[in-house]
């Protein structure tokens, strides 16, 4: 598929600030595709309560059915529909296989942005979050699982742009301007809703 609009995938480990960065793109008018929405929709479609256990079971089931590229594959129709209107930011691309599928599909307009923060910073953030806080041991266990079983390290290692996010939102906003300049040509830095 050829598209005149850019596609950005934001990657990083839990607590790095991926969703905050994706939200900054969205605030500029980019369509935000949250990969995890597929899980929530499927949980509801199966008539199950939305909770961590059901979400995990559905994620594992979808990956068994569709392979490790499941979430990129299942989100492709949403991405392509959004690209008809303007630039897209993908929040939640995890695996190497998802990276390969999207890189092949969107080529030169596809940019991967990695948000990095030290384990100490990420674990502090995860412990203090309002929804599903994690202890340091739980956060470390999640890191290992995502790297080893979800193949999450590949897209992080191959990112086109890396953002260091050890500070607060003011610093992340400043970094966003640099990211935006690298990810989209000057005429395409905002979507149609700016």
Q: State the pLDDT at residue 4.
A: 78
- Give residue 186's pLDDT: 56
The confidence score (pLDDT) of residue 191 equals 57
Among residues of the chain, what percentage have pLDDT more than 70?
Answer: 93
pTM for the full predicted model:
0.89
Residues 6+ apart with CB under 8 A from 139: 14, 15, 119, 122, 123, 126, 127
Predicted confidence at residue 3, as pLDDT, reads 60
**86 φ/ψ sector (left φ>0, alpha ψ -120 to 50, else beta):** left
pLDDT of residue 193: 38
What pLDDT sits at residue 168?
87
Q: 7-33+87-187 falls under which CATH superfamily?
A: P-loop containing nucleotide triphosphate hydrolases (3.40.50.300)
Give the pLDDT confidence of 149-168 residue by residue, as tens digits: 889 999 999 999 999 999 98
Task: Give residue 189's pLDDT.
Answer: 56
Q: What backbone torsions phi and psi does residue 62 show, to the nearest 5 degrees?
A: -65, -40
Query: Quick one: pLDDT at residue 130?
Result: 87
Mean pLDDT of 128-141: 89
- Cα torsion for 25, 78, 133, 116, to the nearest 10°? -50
Q: Which element (helix H / strand E) includes 113?
A: strand 110-116
pLDDT tens-digit map of 76-126: 999 999 999 999 999 989 999 999 999 999 999 999 999 999 999 999 999
Section 30-48 average pLDDT: 95
Every domain of the chain and the residues it spans: 7-33+87-187
């Amino acid at each position: 598929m050829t598209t005149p609009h850019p596609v950005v995938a934001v990657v990083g480990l839990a607590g790095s600030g991926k969703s905050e960065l994706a939200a900054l793109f969205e605030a500029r008018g980019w369509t935000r595709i949250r990969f995890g929405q597929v899980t929530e929709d499927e949980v509801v479609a199966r008539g199950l309560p939305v909770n961590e256990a059901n979400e995990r079971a559905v994620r594992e089931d979808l990956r068994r059915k569709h392979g490790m590229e499941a979430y990129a594959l299942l989100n492709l129709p949403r991405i392509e529909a959004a690209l008809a209107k303007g630039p897209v930011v993908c929040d939640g691309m995890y695996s190497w296989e998802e990276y390969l599928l999207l890189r092949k599909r969107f080529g030169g307009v596809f940019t991967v942005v990695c948000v990095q923060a030290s384990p100490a910073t990420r674990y502090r953030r995860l412990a203090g979050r309002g929804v599903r806080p994690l202890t340091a041991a739980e956060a470390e266990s999640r890191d290992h699982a995502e790297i080893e079983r979800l193949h999450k390290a590949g897209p992080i290692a191959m990112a086109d742009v890396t953002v260091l996010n050890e500070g607060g939102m003011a610093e992340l906003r400043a970094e966003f301007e640099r990211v935006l300049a690298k990810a989209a040509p000057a005429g395409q830095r905002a979507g149609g809703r700016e």
